[in-house]
Structure 1
Amino acid sequence: MTSRPALADLGPIAQLRAGRLGRRLPQLLVGLVLYGVSLGLMVRGSLGVAPWDVLHLGLAEHLPLTLGGALVLTAALVMVLWIPLREMPGIGTVANALMIGPSADATLALVDRPDAFVARLALLVGGVLLCALATAMYIGAQFGRGPRDGLMTGLVRRTGLSIRLVRTALEVSVVVIGVLLGGPLGLGTVLFALAIGPLTQAFLPAWIVPLAAAAPGQDEAIVSSAIR
């Protein structure tokens, strides 16, 4: 029986030394671009967006920012919170912070909101599915977790609370703040929250790239909880 592929918890230098860069780097970049596309599709569906995007769109109501600009700003602020949590950013963390926002903005520039409900529902469902696939791709490339996932795992380590509790508290908090700022809340927000974990877990094993130099520590927490 072959062993199940695992996610290694590596620092940035070790990520580069772990080999298979010809597979891992393109997978990382394509996954991040597709992640931004998925967010744009959900916005154009106008049936609700991912929990963090409720906050991003709420910020865009009050600041001279696009959705992508709000994504980049929030990622940078979240990474500042990594410092007291002693989280180590990886190459994928920085790429995540810089690439998803522009990709989302490009999608919004190219895709219009359809009038038909069925078409909008298709954009929502397709966006959630694509987001799960994109998450599996960039996490499976083994270049580190995204800024928001690092905040979650850092809080888990520092507080001793469960991943489920910390993640739920974070996402409820950003949704409440986002709604207060004027961000949209709808069916898509609930669908995303319920479906993204199981879908990502289903896609992930096929996209984890085995490393030439495996790290002694493995971080299985991201398998079922990675969002960005």
Structure 2
Amino acid sequence: MTDVRHGRRHAPLLYPLGCLVFSTGAYLFIHSDLGTDPLDVFALGLKEHITITVGLAQAGVAVVCLGLSALWNRRRPLLAPLFTFFFCGSVIDLLMWTEPAGRLGADGPVLLAPATLLCAYGSALIIMGGFGIRPIDVLAITMTRKWRWPFWATKGLVEVALMTTGLLLGGPVGVGTVCFLVGVDVLIQPLLQLNARYLRLPNLGLPEHTPRPADAT
């Protein structure tokens, strides 16, 4: 019980930490120039046609995902995830402007492994925080509960749709995009269980994927 309470005291930190970790991973995908995550494929493809920032493009996607989820659940749309997309997108814009990876001499394929791990772990932390869950994940969670599909399958379906649209708009698709779709989407669920089992962190976003107390000892 002490471990559980200790984990819950850290719950408010999961959201901002998750946003920063995820944004750093997404930036590394972009900087690798080997293809980025599906959402940024769409955002960067849209930038080829209109004057818009990554943050604003992601906010637009957020509105669509939250609207679909709200209609499906017959509830009012959530508002906190809108800030998450704008916040993460703005952090990515800042990192693209300052280019810390370039200053360190990091480039190309060497960035794909840390990018994949950072995006997966950042996504897991945001979901576990239960506040401002990324709109794509909100929609994927709704699909998981309605269709009883695995989370990685519903999330992958949404992101394949974004990637395809972004590719048609001229967004960067490559081996990095494949790493995101395969690596990040598959790793999120095991990381949720890892955080709950060994770090005793509460999973407020997907409690059904948290080991029971008897299993976590």
Judge same fold: TM > 0.5, yes or no. Answer: yes
**Displacement of 1:144 after TM fit?**
5.9
Q: C-alpha displacement at 1:187, in angstroms? A: 0.3
Q: Cα deviation per residue 1:79-117 (whole Å; 9 max; x = unaligned)?
A: 222221126766763442331111111111111675xx9
Select which of 36, 39, 50 maps to 2:23.
Answer: 36
Identity %: 25
What letter corresponds to residue 35 of structure 1 in structure 2?
F
Amino acid at match of 2:125: M
Partner residue in 1 for 2:56: 69
The partner residue of 1:174 within 162, 172, 178 is 162
Query: Any unmatched runs of 5+ in structure 2?
Result: 211-217
What SS does structure 2 have at the residue aligned with 1:99?
A: helix
Of residues 198, 201, 215 in structure 2, which corresponds to 1:209? 201
The verdict on how the C-alpha distance between 1:208 and 1:139 changes in structure 2, with shifts beyond 3 A counting, is farther
Counterpart in the other structure of 1:151: 139
- Cα distance in 2 between the residues matched to 1:53 and 1:218: 28
Which residue pairs with 1:10 in the alignment?
none
Question: 2-side partners of 1:134 and 1:69: how far apart?
Answer: 20
Deviation at 1:50, TM superposition (A): 1.1
Residues 111-160 of structure 1 show CA distances to partners (whole Å, capped at 9, x for unaligned) of: 1675xx972222232211111121222222233632111212323445x3
Structure 1 residues not aligned, in runs of 5+: 6-17, 222-228
Contact 2:41 2:162 in 1 (8 A): yes
Q: Which residue of 2 aligns with 1:218?
A: 207
Q: Secondary structure at the match of 1:62?
A: coil
Q: Which digits, 9 at most, give the CA deviation of each residue in 1:152-198, with x for residues without a partner?
A: 2323445x363455444322221111111111110001111111134
**C-alpha deviation, 1:39, in angstroms:** 1.0
- Superposition deviation, residue 201 in structure 1: 3.4
Counterpart CA distance in 1 for 2:173 and 2:163 is 8
Task: Check if 1:97 corresponds to 2:85.
Answer: yes
Structure-1 residue corresponding to 2:178: 190
What is the one-letter code of the residue matched to 2:108? R
2:153 and 2:92 map into 1 onto residues whose CA distance is: 29
Contact (CA 8 Å) 1:90, 1:145: kept in 2 or not?
Answer: no
Asked if residue 25 in structure 1 is aligned to residue 24 in structure 2, the reply is: no
Greater helix fraction, Structure 1 or Structure 2: 2
Question: How many pairs are equivalent?
Answer: 201
Corresponding position of 2:187? 199
TM-score (norm: length of structure 1): 0.72
Distance 2:86 2:154 in 1: 25
Is residue 45–residue 113 contact of structure 1 (8 Å, CA) maintained in 2? no
1:101-116 alignment runs, 5 A limit: 101-111=89-99, 114=102
Relative to 1, partners in 2 of residues 1:27 and 1:210: Cα closer, same or farther, differing over 3 Å? closer
Please give the alpha-carbon distance, in whole angstroms, between the structure 2 residues aligned to 1:101 and 1:123.
Answer: 19
The answer to which of 78-87 and 124-133 deviates more is: 78-87
Instruction: Say whether residues 1:127 and 2:115 are aligned partners.
Output: yes
Equivalents in 2 of 1:173, 1:126: separation in Å?
Answer: 25
